[in-house]
Amino acid sequence: MTPPVSEKEKIDKYTEFVGSGLGRELARRLGLPQPAILRRYDPQAPLVEGPILVVGPGVGADAVATVLLGWGQDVRRHASPKEKLGAIVAVLDELAHPDQLSAPVREIGSSLRELARNARIVTISRPAQAGDVPEVAAARHAVDGIVRSLAKELRSGATANGVLLAGDLPADAPSAMASLRFFLSGRSAFVDGQFLAAGDAGTRAEQDWARPLDGRVAVVTGAARGIGAAIARTLARDGAKVVVVDVPAAGDRLADVANEIRGTALQLDITATEAGARILDHAASRHGRLDIVVHNAGITRDKLLANMDAARWDSVIVVNIAAQLRMNQAFLASSHFADSPRIISVSSTSGIAGNRGQTNYAASKAGVIGMVRATAPLLAAAGGTVNAVAPGFIETEMTAKIPFATREVARRLNSLQQGGTPGDVAEVIAFFASGAAAGVTGNVLRVCGQNLVGQ
């Protein structure tokens, strides 16, 4: 019998219907949403389906074009009439005044009608920061508005995202190019209108784009079902040895996941004082060390604040943030977690934008974001990173129980006009866990299709 955890992820029926020629035409005639079937990651598929147009003046654009050529991509420095493009990369690392935006942005605009389905637009620029003169700060921060607005204009599964270069980091720095590759790939299918900050650390010398986690040891909490199970499968697919963790009550499903990915299972209440130590002991005894921790376990106990009792508030805070803080203390103090360690936490768009009836949940998930940003410098000495993902509407067993009308509205309230899958969240986490992301830390990346709330 096939374990329930290995069921194929399915898109919603409406998206599937309008993905056909007849459905697409009917939706167009009636003025209904027309979500595209997204191009998701396939190790055997090309990075981008079509030529890549590199836009921008200066040596940075030339350097990025050279890297793309080294990846075997078909690169253009000037668009050809009527040629479908798989991606546009705009290198804007030398911006010093808003006047300089006109030429590259208009070049992008003139090529938008030539974008293929599921195309990618990625900017590479620098963030505005303290000490910038007003003209430089204005030009740099203008890119933020351009990317987020453009992402809302694109259709047919296309996305727009950006890479932000720290300090004087060159446009073709390894961490910037790793972030670019992530945004170009199918791994970022449900990431839209977002930015990744790239620091000055490089990729690991042995980086393998096909199996980037070979030889690494990972633990995933809340792994018995849904997003947690998808994370475990994706990490295992990318080469990691995975320890899956969940409460004893989920033991059977947890065992199914462990068997499916040839990992090991640890039944554990993460709120226990000794939870971090037990995870370390299990990983060390089986594999000699621990390299990657994914804090996925979480609960909801929704109520309006006026009706919130102590049990609902306290249980959510304890599971969703206090347990992570306690476990991280144990991990950071251990010699078994010292070889370029990675911590990735699952936050939520509720922790960014808030949500009615979820003050406890939003507080815990906003707390995760604060924890990630404060933990980043603590891991830097060991060459480690910590990041968070903030999922929006994801198609899970939980969201399937939402009333039909409410669920349909929630699905369509983003630029991609559909819900994401657990695999979409897992792909972002796998990128953060990889050696390619060595220079990417302290980031919070929304996996929400650019949800219209809080953007």
Interval 81-107 mean pLDDT: 96
Name the pLDDT band for 204 (thresholds 50, 70, 90).
low
Interval 209-228 mean pLDDT: 95
296-329 pLDDT per residue, tens: 999 999 999 999 999 999 999 999 999 999 999 9
8-66 pLDDT per residue, tens: 466 788 888 888 788 888 888 888 888 899 999 999 999 999 999 999 988 999 999 99
Residue 357: alpha-carbon gap to chain centroid: 26
14 is catalytic: no
Percent of the chain with pLDDT over 70: 96
415-424 pLDDT per residue, tens: 999 999 999 9
pLDDT, position 20: 79
130-174 pLDDT per residue, tens: 999 999 999 999 999 999 999 999 999 999 999 999 999 999 999
pLDDT, position 202: 59
Which tokens belong to 273?
Answer: 């004082």
pLDDT, position 7: 42
pLDDT, position 203: 56
Mean pLDDT of the chain: 93
52-198, CATH topology level:
Rossmann fold (3.40.50)
Name the pLDDT band for 455 (thresholds 50, 70, 90).
low
pLDDT, position 454: 60
| Fold match flag (52-198 vs 217-447) | yes
Question: Which one is predicted more confidently, 119 or 207?
Answer: 119
252-262 pLDDT per residue, tens: 999 999 999 99
pLDDT at 5 over 50: no
- pTM for the model: 0.94
pLDDT at 368 over 70: yes
- Residue 298, φ and ψ in degrees, nearest 5: -170, 160
* Domain spans, the chain: 52-198, 217-447
Interval 438-443 mean pLDDT: 96
- Residue 354, φ and ψ in degrees, nearest 5: 80, 165
Question: Which one is predicted more confidently, 217 or 404?
Answer: 217
Catalytic member of 41, 182, 183, 361: 361
CATH 3.40.50.720 fits 217-447, yes or no: yes
